[in-house]
Structure 1
C-alpha cells in the first residue's frame, strides 16, 4: 500500500519493448500519398500548359516551391504515420515510436506556416498578374498581402521555439510533460490556424468584384468566379481543421478505461488515439485543395485544347463519311460540310482567351478593374 502511494505508476502496465503492427491501420498514410499524387499531377499539368502556350508567369514560378514543400509535408506525414505508431491502439506503441511521433509534431510546427504561405504567394501572384493593370486599385492591397505572408512566416517560425525548455525534451515521451507546455502549443496553433483562415478568406473574396466587372456574359462570369473561388477554398478545409483541433483538446485528459491501465496514459495526450484522422488528414486536404484550385484556371486551356483536337478528329471522320455517301445523296453534301466544321452536336473548341484570363485577341475579354466602382 505504501509502495503504491509513493509510486503513482506502480501497478500500471509498462509500454511494449518491441514494435507490434498487428492492429495498425495504414489508411491515413495511403490517403496522404494519394492526395499528394493528385495535387502534384495537377500542378505539373498546369505548368505544362503554361509552358506550351508560352504564358509562364511569376505565379507559376511561385507554385513550384509551394508544391515541393507540400511534397515534403507528405513525406513527413507518411513517414510518421507508418513508423511512429499512428493508427495503432495507444497501449501497443513503444517509447521509441512515441518519440518519433513527437518529432513529427515538432517538424510540422515549422513546416506548415512556410508551406501554406508559399501556396498563398502563388495565388496572390496570379491575382497580381490578372487584375493589376496600370494603376489598378488592387495593386496596393495585393502588395500588402504579399508582405503579410513573409510576416506570417516570421512570427509563426518563432512561436514554436518556446514550447519546451530545454527543447530536446520535446520528443522525450517520459520527460515531455515536465519541460513542455502543451497548452502553449495549443494556443499558438489556434492562433496559426486562425490567421491562416483569415488570410485564405481574403483570397477567397478578393477576386469576386473585379471578375464581376468583366465584359462577358453573366453565365461565363459566374463560371470564372467559381473557378477562382475554388483556388482559395482551402479556408474551408482550414476551418474544419481548426474546429477539430479545438474539439480534440477536450479529450486531452484520457478517459478510456483500457488506456488508463497503462503507464503511458500518464504521459501521452488522450486525443492521440485519433490523431491520424484529426490532424494529418485535415492538414493534407487543406494544401491539396489549394494547389488544385489555383491550377484550375490554367487547366481550362488544357480542356479547350483537348476538346479542339477531339472536334477536329471528329470533323475529319464525318467528312470522310460524307464523301462516301455523297455519291448516293448529293442533296446532303452541304449539310455534311456544316456538320463536319462544327463537329457532332455542334461542338466547337473554345479559344484559350475565352477560358483563362490572359491577354489575348478577344477585345471583349479584359478585366475592368480600373473602372470606377
Structure 2
C-alpha cells in the first residue's frame, strides 16, 4: 500500500466533510469531452484521406491509428475507481481500490508517452514532405530524433526501471522494493516535450513567410500549422501542475488535476496532427456547397423575373472556372418585321445588365 491505514484518532482530526469529498467528476467530464472531440476529428480525417485525398502515406494507416488508440486509452483508463477520493478514505473504507488505481496510473504513463510521440512524428513527416529548404529539413530530422529518443529513454526505459521491482510502483508491501524520485520523473518528463513543441511551432515559419500567395491563403496555412501550439499550451500547464501540486501527499485526490492535463495534452497533439489531413474534405465540402450555388440560384431567379418584365436573359459560357454569367437585355417590341428579326441581339446603344457569380479556376483561386 502507499501508506498506512489512518487510526481512529487521525480520522477524527480530519475537517468535516473531508472523507466525503470526491472530485473525480472533473476527470470524468474532461475524458468524455475529449473522447467525443477526438472521435469527430479522427473520423473526419479518415474520410478526408480515404475519399478526397489524391495520395496517402504509410503513417495514415499506422501512426495515426496508434495515436488514436493511445489518446482513447488515456481517457478510458483515467476514469477509474477511487480517483478523486482522498487516500485516507480509500485506506479506511475501500482499500481494494488502491492497487488497481495505481496500476491504471502506471498504464497512463505509458499511454501518455505514445500519445505525445506519434502525433509529433506525424507532423514532422508532413514537414519533410512539403518543405524543400535544406536547413529546415535538417532541423526537422533533428527534432524527430529528439522526439523518438525521449520516447525510448524517458518514456519506456525510465518508466520500467524507476521502481525495482516494477510492481513496487503500486504494491509497497514487496520486501526490498525501492523507487527513485517518482515526482521528479513526473515533473521533468514534460521538459523535452515543451522543447520539441517550441521547435515544431517555429520550423515552418520561415518557409511559410516566403510563400508567394495571397494573404488569405497564407493566413490559413499559418493557422493550420500554428494549431500545434495548443499542445504546447497544454504541456506548459501540465508541467506547472506537477511542479506546484503536492501530488505524493494524496495521490488519488490531487492526481485528478494532473491526470486531466495528462489526457488533454496528447489529445491536443492528436487533434493538431489530424487537422492538416482534413483539408481535402473541407475543400470538397466548400466547393460543393459554396456561395457559387447560392449566387447561381439567385441569378436564375432574377433572370426569370426579368423575362416576365419585358426583358430576356442569356447564359454565357465560361472558359475558366465554375462561375456563371448572365446578360440581360430588353425585349424587342413586336413579334414580326425588323424588330422580330433582331430578337436575341444586343444593340450597342442599349443598356446591358451583366450578372456574374464567383467561382474558382483550376488552381483553386477565386475568379
Q: Shared fold (TM-score greater than 0.5)?
A: yes
Q: Deviations over 1:38-84 (max 9, x none)?
A: 12321221232122232323453432221122222222113x2xx2x
- Whole-Å Cα distance in 2 between the matches of residues 350 and 34 of structure 1? 40
Matched, 1:314 2:294: yes
**Equivalent of 1:326, from 292, 299, 306?**
306
Q: Deviations over 1:156-187 (max 9, x none)?
A: 21112233333323213x64898444x61111
Deviation at 1:119, TM superposition (A): 1.1
Aligned in 2, Cα 1:166/1:294: closer, same or farther, shift over 3 Å? Answer: closer
- Whole-Å Cα distance in 2 between the matches of residues 296 and 345 of structure 1? 34
- Whole-Å Cα distance in 2 between the matches of residues 124 and 92 of structure 1? 46
Q: Deviations over 1:166-224 (max 9, x none)?
A: 3323213x64898444x611112223110111111111111111111111124432331
Aligned in 2, Cα 1:147/1:33: closer, same or farther, shift over 3 Å? Answer: same
Q: TM-score, normalised by structure 1?
A: 0.73
Aligned in 2, Cα 1:130/1:12: closer, same or farther, shift over 3 Å? Answer: same
Matched, 1:208 2:205: yes
Aligned in 2, Cα 1:271/1:348: closer, same or farther, shift over 3 Å? Answer: farther
- The structure number with the bigger radius of gyration is 2
Q: TM-score, normalised by structure 2?
A: 0.74
Deviation at 1:34, TM superposition (A): 2.2
- Whole-Å Cα distance in 2 between the matches of residues 71 and 101 of structure 1? 18
Total equivalences in the alignment? 318
SS of aligned partner of 1:26: helix
Gaps of 5+ in 2: 13-18, 326-354
SS of aligned partner of 2:135: coil
Matched, 1:246 2:243: yes
Matched, 1:138 2:121: no
Q: What RMSD in Å do the two structures reach over aligned CA positions?
A: 3.7
Q: Residue 118 of structure 1 corresponds to which residue in structure 2?
A: 118
Aligned in 2, Cα 1:176/1:241: closer, same or farther, shift over 3 Å? Answer: farther
Deviation at 1:236, TM superposition (A): 1.4
Aligned in 2, Cα 1:197/1:272: closer, same or farther, shift over 3 Å? Answer: same
- Whole-Å Cα distance in 1 between the matches of residues 153 and 364 of structure 2? 40
Q: Residue 277 of structure 2 corresponds to which residue in structure 1?
A: 298
- Whole-Å Cα distance in 2 between the matches of residues 29 and 77 of structure 1? 8
Contact 1:67 1:119 in 2 (8 A): no
- Whole-Å Cα distance in 1 between the matches of residues 360 and 71 of structure 2? 34
After superposition, where does 1:228-243 map in structure 2 within 5 Å?
228-243=225-240
Deviation at 1:275, TM superposition (A): 2.1
Contact 1:322 1:333 in 2 (8 A): no
Aligned in 2, Cα 1:299/1:226: closer, same or farther, shift over 3 Å? Answer: same
**Equivalent of 1:341, from 324, 327, 335?**
324
> Could you say which structure has the higher strand fraction?
2
Deviation at 1:242, TM superposition (A): 0.4
Q: Residue 167 of structure 1 corresponds to which residue in structure 2?
A: 166
Gaps of 5+ in 1: 1-6, 15-19, 253-268, 356-373
